[in-house]
Amino acid sequence: MTAQPLQGIVVLEFSQYLSGPSAGLRLADLGARVIKIERPGTGEAGRKLAIKDLWVDDNSLLFHTINRNKESFTANLKDADDLYVIKQLIAKADVLIHNFRPEVMGKNGLDYASVQHINPRLIYAEISGYGKKGPWKDKPGQDLLLQAMSGLAYTTGNSGQAPVPFGISIGDIIAGAHVVQGILAALIRRQKNGKGALIEVSMLESLLDFQFELLTTYYTTQQQPLRSAVANGQPLLSAPYGIYATADGHIAIAMMDIHVLADTIGCFALHAFHKEDAFVQRDAIKTALAVHLQQQPTAVWLRMLHNAGLWAMEVLNWQQLTTTAAYQTLQMEQVVLAADKQIVTTRCPIRINGKRLMFDRPAPQLGAQNESIRQELSAAMK
């Protein structure tokens, strides 16, 4: 039997797209009952956010991957009867998550101050783009825009090149993870004192925290960290740290003594540099190394480096990665059954007492649990 530490916890998810739903997904993976509150007729906007035009039934593949193992209840928050039912749910819930603009929930009387009167034990968690105050509070909280405005796009790519965004929605996912951390902390606190809590996370703050190494350096020196002109891996680290082309692919080389590296792979041009110049002269060092590494295939270099105990790895694409024994040992894939179709997706990365958390329950059809939830509420009132 798979461990479910949050079994019995009820979560109401007023969320769309990625940040809020990713938080709900992790709580569902951990055993919580997650009920998506959606608009009648259309549902949350993520249902129609198709990546590469991939669909399962009437919903996008992306929606299915981030909303598995949840329930769906539709309600028009402007309708008095529907709003009454939502407040009944809030009275019985443990957690409420939303990632709407700061004023949206307040317009419907569902802001934290209002729902405290309904359920003072409720953990109320909200994700915004830039926080609820300040001149940026009404800007669109979209991941690429946050990467641009937070400075994150200047950590990737070589100097002299345009800023480079991450290839994933990193701001959404990190903000979702941070709100889960806050919710779990608040649940522990509530167990001790019986009180609810307001958890606030903004994508901007999450991305700033993500850059704590770089920002701490900037606060101290008041100088912008500089990316390498060649094989930039991390702006604060010296040569040889970075990714280099080989005769048949690419290799990632981590921190190491440049003279030990020189002797290990026969790149004697590196002896022209002093060890203490590994940062000051990093572009020249990396240029010499880049030329040398193109002379042999990746496997040749890895054999030399690993035999010497030096840190280096081949750069793999997903096709290469998934065929490795190391990947297969992890058993990261799980199958979700949706509309008679098998969707292979990733599982929760957490193991508890050695057990992997896997659930094949698909994302819910819009309003699929309306009747059963209404019956539950009606029975509870008798």
Give the residue numbers marked as catalytic: 172
Q: Which of 342, 324, 344, 318 is nearest to 333 (CA)?
A: 344
Q: Where are the beta strands (DSSP E) in the chain?
A: 10-14, 33-38, 55-56, 59-60, 71-74, 95-98, 123-128, 197-202, 242-245, 250-253, 312-314, 333-338, 341-346, 351-352, 355-356
The DSSP code for 94 is S
The amino acid at 19:
S
Q: Which of 143, 188, 194 is nearest to 165 (CA)?
A: 143
- Residue 118's SS3 state is helix
The number of residues making up the chain comes to 382
Q: Which two tokens stand for residue 155?
A: 């950590």
State how far the alpha carbon of 238 is from the alpha carbons of 162, 246, 275, 292, in Å.
Answer: 21, 20, 10, 18
- Looking only at the bridges linking them, the beta strands covering 250-253 and 242-245 are antiparallel
Taking a C-beta distance cutoff of 8 angstroms, is the pair 314, 249 a contact? yes
The strand pairing partners of 11, in sequence order, are 34, 95
Taking a C-beta distance cutoff of 8 angstroms, is the pair 251, 312 a contact? yes
Q: Is 289 left (phi over 0), alpha (psi -120 to 50) or beta?
A: alpha
